[in-house]
Chains A and B, each alone.
Chain A
Amino acid sequence: MTAISDLIIGIIILMGALLTVVTMIGLIRLPDTYTRSHAASKSATLGVLLILVGCLLFFWIKNGSINGQLLLGIVFVFITSPVAGHLLGRAAYYSGSPLWKGTVRDDLKEKQKKRSMSE
């Protein structure tokens, strides 16, 4: 284990942790459900990914073996978290969660109206 690889792995894991902190700040600061889901679905994904990649590299260099579970974990997080963001946003919209007052435009309103008329 050389000093350079130590440094690189340290930076990767620190960046992941910092991104997760930024996500938390975003969740507190942003005004409505939808903008919060922006912060949650993006920064959290990359934060967790970077931490997992750092762990993968660490055990690769230390033990000389690639951990398959970590690789699979990276792929699963990558695929599932945007879907979760989408589903949360959709559920929030159709259960009537209000948009922030600064919202400029809302094209989905027409469809929502038609849907509630037909019910």
Chain B
Amino acid sequence: MSFQLLLNVVIAVTWMFLRGIWTGPSFLIGFFWGAVMLFVFRRFFPQRFYLEKVFAVIKLLLIFLVELFKANIAVIQDVLRPKLNIKPAIFAMPTKLEKDWEITTLSLLITLTPGTVVIDVSDDNSTLYIHAMNVDDIDEVIKDIQHSFEKAIMEVSR
């Protein structure tokens, strides 16, 4: 990923040398054609075309924002209900993610989702212990998390 980005910058600078124009827009044009060249030659790189990864990161950010709003609506409903009607629980959730930054990102996302806060991560990084504010069906919560967040994070790191 970073190698392809570096290559793209080098191509952009080469473009500026060829044109002899040393301005920001000229760099951007070179960067665009460099991206096109890397896209054409993508099968020579061991990793995926790097812009795909950039889009995956943007998608993750959007999920982050949407979940933040949903979480707040859920908390407001729980707090302002006249009769306190919550069912807290701590449950374990297995995770397939391995790298440290992936698990950190997953915990951040879970902490910002409706009604869940990560309390602990097991020593071998295979289980997250989550405190949920309002659980009717724990398995369903786990499945939801795995489908949306784990998949989005794997998309970035693949």
Q: A residues within 8 Å of B by Cβ?
A: 19, 22, 25-26, 29-32, 34-35, 37-39, 41-43, 45-46, 79, 82-83, 85-86, 89-90, 93, 99-100, 102-108, 111
Contact = CB atoms under 8 A, between A and B. Distances in A.
B131 A105 contact: no
Contacts of A82: 107-108, 111-112
A37 B69 contact: no
Give the dominant DSSP class at A's interface: helix
A106 B120 CA distance: 12
A25 B117 contact: no
Interface string B79-111: 110001011111110000000000000011001
Interface stretch (B6-14, B36-44, B70-78, B148-156): B70-78
A42 B72 contact: yes
Contact of A102 (B79, B88, B91, B138): B88
Contact of A38 (B90, B117, B129): B117
B117 A85 contact: yes
B68 A41 contact: no
Given A42-B112, A43-B72, A104 B79 contact: no
Contacts of A99: 88, 90
B108 to A, nearest CB: 5
24 contacts: A22-B79, A25-B79, A26-B78, A30-B79, A30-B84, A32-B88, A34-B117, A38-B75, A39-B79, A43-B75, A46-B69, A82-B107, A86-B111, A86-B119, A89-B131, A102-B87, A103-B88, A104-B87, A104-B89, A105-B90, A107-B129, A108-B120, A111-B120, A111-B129
A3 to B, nearest CB: 26
Q: Give the interface size bracket for B toward A.
A: 20 to 34
A100 B87 CA distance: 10
B75 A22 contact: yes
A111 B90 CA distance: 12
Nearest to A30: B79
A106 B84 CA distance: 21
Nearest to B133: A38
B35 interface: no
A99 B86 CA distance: 13
A90 B120 contact: yes
Contact of B76 (A22, A45, A89, A108): A22
Contacts of A39: 75, 79
B123 to A, nearest CB: 9
Given A82-B112, A89-B131, A90-B119, A26 B79 contact: yes
